[in-house]
A and B are shown apart, each in its own frame.
Chain A
Amino acid sequence: MFYIYCPYCQEHREEEEFHAAGQAHIARPADPDNCTDEEWGDYLYFRKNPRGLHHEMWVHAAGCRKFFNMTRDTQSYEIKEVYKMGEQPQIVSEQDSIARGTA
C-alpha cells in the first residue's frame, strides 16, 4: 500500500483514496494537422514502461479530486516526490535528462 502525500490537501492519505492516471508530461503535438502519423500515433498510444524512475499522474479521487504528478521508482515502489500539475519534476533519471537535452 502507498501512503501518498496529496499536494493539494497537504497531507498524507491512504492509497485507496487515489487512482493512478497514467504517464505524466505527455505533450500533445502543437500542430496536429501537420504532424506525421508516427508522431500522432506515439502521442495517442505509446507509453513508457521504465524499470526505475517513472513520472506519472495520480488523482485524489475520493478526496479533493485534483490531479497531480508523482515520481516513483517502479522497482522499489518508492515515491520520490509529488508535485502539482504544471510543475516539473526535481528528480529525473539519466535517460530523461538526455531526452530533455539538459544532460
Chain B
Amino acid sequence: MSDVTNVEASSPVQAGEQAAKPQVAVMNLLAGEGPRADSPLAHAELGAIAKQSDAKGGVCLQELKLLGHLVLRGDPNNQSFVAGVTKVLGVALPAALKTEVIGELSVHWVSPDEWLLIMPAKQAFQLERELRAELTGHYAIVNVSGGQTVLRLTGPDVDKVLCKSTPYDVHERNFPVGKVVTSVFAKSQAVISRSGEEAWDLVVRRSFADYLWLWLQDASAEYGLQIKG
C-alpha cells in the first residue's frame, strides 16, 4: 500500500513557464513508522555480537545501515546541470576518484557522469525533490537505498584486510584520504572510500552483503575483529 501523500510531482509546472519540463512522480521510499525496515545484514545481528565481544581487535566493523543512497547522473560539461547540483548541494560535484563530504552528506564520484550521494535516510526524499526542482534537461536521479549498504572498517590492520580483498593499491601514496574507487572486492565489487587514516567505507550490494560479511570475518580473523553495533 503506497502512501499517496508521499507521492508528489517533482515540480509543479507553472502557467507559461518551463512548459516542456516533464513531470516526474517521486515516491518517498521510507517505510515510515509502520512496517519494519531490515538492513541487508539484519540476520547477522551485529548489535548482539557487539554486546558479547569486548575484544580489542585490529579491525573494527560497523554497518552504517539504512542510509539514503541516491545515484545522480548527468553530463559534467553541461553548465546548467553542474550549476543546479552545486546550488542544491552547496559544493561542486567531486572530480574523478574524489569524495566530497558536506556534514552528513557524502558525494562519491563513481563514473565520469555518475555520482553516489549517501545521507541519512530521512533526507533522501527531500534532497531528491530539491534536485528535481532545480535541474532541467538530461539527467537522472535514482533512489537505490534499498539496494546497497555501507560497511565501515576502522583500525590499524584494515589496510592488510583490504590488501587481501582487492587488487587495488591501498597504500597511502596511491589511496589518500578522500579518494574513492570502485573495484573488485573479494569475488564481488565495492565502492571503496577512505574517510580517515585508518577508516574505510565499503558500499556493497545488498545481495552480496552476507557474502562480504563472511569474507571480512575470515579475512580479519588473524588481526582480531571487533564489531560495533
Contact = CB atoms under 8 A, between A and B. Distances in A.
Interface of A: 8-11, 13-14, 16-17, 62-66
Interface string B151-176: 00000000000000001100000000
Contacts of A64: 110-112, 114, 182
Nearest to A10: B96
A20 B112 CA distance: 20
B112 A66 contact: yes
Nearest to B112: A8
A8 B95 CA distance: 11
Nearest to A15: B167
A64 B114 CA distance: 9
A63 B182 contact: yes
Contacts of A10: 96-97
B112 A17 contact: no
Given A8-B112, A62-B183, 7 more contacts: A8-B111, A13-B183, A16-B184, A17-B184, A62-B182, A62-B189, A66-B112
B181 interface: yes
A11 B184 contact: no
Interface residues of B, number: 13
B144 to A, nearest CB: 15
Contacts of A11: 97
A4 B181 CA distance: 15
Nearest to B182: A63
A65 B168 CA distance: 16
Contacts of B96: 8-10
Contacts, number: 35
A63 B112 contact: no
B112 A13 contact: no
A17 B185 CA distance: 10
A14 B182 CA distance: 12
A58 to B, nearest CB: 15
B181 A63 contact: yes
Contacts of A16: 167, 184
| Best-surrounded residue of A14, A62, A66 (most CB of chain B within 10 A) | A62
A63 B181 CA distance: 7
Interface in B32-65: none
Contacts of A65: 111
A14 B185 CA distance: 12
A9 B189 contact: no
A10 B184 CA distance: 17
Given A62-B189, A63-B182, A63-B183, A17 B167 contact: yes
A50 B54 CA distance: 62
B201 to A, nearest CB: 17
B167 A14 contact: yes
B162 to A, nearest CB: 14
23 contacts: A8-B96, A8-B112, A9-B97, A9-B181, A10-B97, A11-B97, A13-B167, A14-B167, A14-B168, A14-B184, A16-B167, A17-B167, A17-B184, A62-B182, A62-B183, A62-B184, A62-B189, A63-B181, A64-B110, A64-B111, A64-B114, A64-B182, A66-B112
